[in-house]
């Protein structure tokens, strides 16, 4: 694509980066076929190619964002299916991240929207605040019907609907410390305890630590780590996202200096995609660029790490049919497609892949709160495809997808690591019946 940026504009490294990306796009439109919002809404401006044109126009003219571009960029899920499809290697992720930051700096949203977004950015990345908010949400439940009738309050209704009726107590594993591996030492890793996931389902990291230590891997929960920053990054809140990134880079650098790390284990693929991008996000910060690149290189999804470990034979062989839902951040963001399925198969599960596996379930960070209608359409389409597999359990590697799919599916939706932990001798995942797992014990 031809671009017309001035030399002065290109002196801004963010613009220069976006210009490089724009020039790679050849307008072929292949990406439209796999874009969930184009497939759902049928509007070129809700396709990757349409959004790329809108972003190009905004950046080239150096103008503030307007309502039109905000509407279409807000509808983008950042699912990155377009990047998997694009034959020209267009880095849509970095382009849309830049566009979102530009929108945040130049566009004044309506008051209620601003308040909703500010509240999400204030609450979601902090487990203590999030825990309190989930408890508070119970009181607001009776008002869901009323909020749904008022367009500006639909995100609040969506939030109340998604809030679970109860949450488990905080896990002691979320506290800083070292969990020694059993037997011969096979590695030393740090684990991201995370934010929303540690509140909604602390058993995910418990299963991870339990399985890793049983396999001989020492697991460190470093002092000072926090939210990865993805949630606010996707809202264009660059300063907040970069502050989170720096905090984690510091925490993990200390852990590296104190005893070395073979990997930084991440159990939510949405976080994994962002942490693997820390090197890019902090490239212009001389104090952090190198450390951030080192952290990104060490970041591994738990299935990526386990696949390289050469696991022993599982102690249980269930034979249960499992539908594997590949989160967008897993398959498109990190290009991890094979390992989770192979690990589940090796552990004795019969893995089935739903049709249209490339399409997002509509969770996408805060998308199911901020765009509840499109999100619900994508969720229902996903659940229909999953149910058509005849699976007894759904496995996936991202807490957002678990919450989203479980809100409409009839079968339990669990994190992949919980099924693996069980197959290798751990406890039965909560919500999964004994009958569905005992087939070939």
Binding segment for ligand SF4 (CB under 6 A), chosen from 82-90, 106-114, 154-162, 432-440, is: 82-90
Nearer to ligand SF4 among residue 256 and residue 271 (C-beta): 271
Size of the site for ligand SF4 (CB under 6 A): 26
- Least distance to ligand SF4 from the beta carbon of 378, Å? 10
51 near ligand SF4 (CB under 6 A): yes
Binding segment for ligand SF4 (CB under 6 A), chosen from 30-38, 171-179, 261-269, 308-316, is: 30-38
Nearer to ligand SF4 among residue 36 and residue 397 (C-beta): 36
Near ligand SF4 by CB under 6 A: residue from 6, 43, 71, 88 = 88
Closest CA relative to residue 122, chosen from 240, 248, 251, 268: 240
70 near ligand SF4 (CB under 6 A): no
440 near ligand SF4 (CB under 6 A): no
Distances (CA, A) of 332 to 109, 328, 367, 373: 30, 5, 17, 23
One-character DSSP codes across 200-243: H-THHHHHHHHHHHHTTEEEEE-TT----SHHHHTTT-HHHHHH
Cα–Cα dist 13/19, whole Å: 10
Dihedral class, residue 35 (left if φ above 0, else alpha if ψ from -120 to 50, else beta): beta
Distances (CA, A) of 9 to 3, 105, 265: 12, 17, 39
Cα–Cα dist 295/386, whole Å: 35
367 near ligand SF4 (CB under 6 A): no
- Least distance to ligand SF4 from the beta carbon of 48, Å? 4
43 near ligand SF4 (CB under 6 A): no
Cα–Cα dist 320/429, whole Å: 14
Segments in 62-153 forming alpha helices (H):
67-74, 81-85, 92-106, 111-123, 127-140, 144-149
Contact between residue 422 and residue 439 where contact means Cβ atoms under 8 Å apart:
no
31 near ligand SF4 (CB under 6 A): yes
Nearer to ligand SF4 among residue 29 and residue 224 (C-beta): 29
Near ligand SF4 by CB under 6 A: residue from 6, 13, 16, 29 = 29
79 near ligand SF4 (CB under 6 A): yes
235 near ligand SF4 (CB under 6 A): no
For β-strands 393-396 and 321-324, DSSP reports them as: parallel
105 near ligand SF4 (CB under 6 A): no
- Least distance to ligand SF4 from the beta carbon of 74, Å? 11
Near ligand SF4 by CB under 6 A: residue from 21, 81, 103, 370 = 81
Nearer to ligand SF4 among residue 29 and residue 427 (C-beta): 29
Footprint of ligand SF4 on this chain (CB under 6 A)?
25-31, 35-37, 48-49, 51-52, 76-82, 85-86, 88, 90, 92
């Amino acid at each position: 694509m031809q671009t017309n940026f001035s030399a002065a504009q290109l002196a801004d490294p963010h613009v220069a980066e976006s210009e490089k990306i724009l020039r790679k796009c050849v307008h072929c439109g292949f990406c439209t076929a796999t874009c969930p919002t184009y497939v759902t809404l049928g509007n070129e401006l809700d396709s990757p190619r349409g959004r790329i044109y809108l972003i190009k126009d905004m950046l080239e003219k150096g103008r503030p964002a307007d309502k039109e571009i905000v509407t279409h960029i807000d509808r983008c899920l950042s699912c990155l299916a377009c990047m998997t499809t694009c034959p020209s290697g267009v880095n849509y992720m970095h382009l849309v991240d830049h566009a979102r930051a530009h929108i945040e700096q130049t566009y004044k949203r309506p008051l209620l929207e601003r308040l909703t977004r500010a509240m999400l950015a204030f609450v979601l990345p902090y487990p203590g605040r999030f825990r309190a908010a989930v408890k508070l949400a119970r009181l607001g439940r009776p008002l869901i019907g009323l909020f749904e009738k008022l367009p500006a309050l639909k995100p609040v209704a969506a939030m109340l609907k998604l809030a679970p009726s109860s949450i488990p107590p905080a896990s002691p594993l979320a506290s800083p410390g070292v969990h020694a591996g059993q037997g011969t030492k096979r590695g030393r890793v740090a684990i991201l305890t995370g934010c929303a996931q540690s509140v909604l389902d602390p058993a995910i990291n418990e299963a991870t630590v339990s399985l890793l230590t049983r396999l001989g891997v020492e697991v460190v929960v470093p002092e000072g780590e926090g939210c990865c920053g993805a949630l606010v990054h996707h809202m264009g809140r660059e300063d907040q996202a970069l502050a989170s990134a720096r905090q984690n880079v510091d925490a993990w650098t200390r852990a590296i200096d104190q005893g070395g790390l073979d990997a930084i284990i991440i159990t939510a693929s949405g976080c994994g995609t962002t942490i693997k991008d820390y090197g890019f996000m902090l490239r212009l910060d001389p104090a952090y660029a190198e450390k951030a690149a080192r952290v990104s290189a060490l970041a591994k999804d738990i299935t990526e790490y386990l696949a390289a470990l050469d696991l022993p034979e599982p102690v249980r062989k269930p034979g249960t049919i499992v539908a594997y839902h590949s989160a967008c951040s897993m398959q498109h963001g990190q290009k991890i497609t094979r390992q989770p399925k192979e690990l589940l198969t090796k552990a004795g599960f019969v893995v089935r892949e739903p049709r249209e596996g490339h399409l997002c379930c509509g969770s996408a960070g805060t998308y199911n709160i901020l765009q509840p209608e499109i999100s619900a359409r994508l969720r229902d389409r996903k659940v229909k495809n999953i149910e058509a597999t005849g699976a007894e359990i759904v496995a996936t590697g991202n807490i957002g997808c678990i919450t989203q799919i479980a809100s409409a599916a009839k079968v339990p939706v669990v994190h992949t690591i919980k099924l693996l932990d069980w197959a290798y001798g751990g406890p039965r995942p909560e919500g999964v019946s004994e009958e569905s797992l005992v087939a070939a014990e």
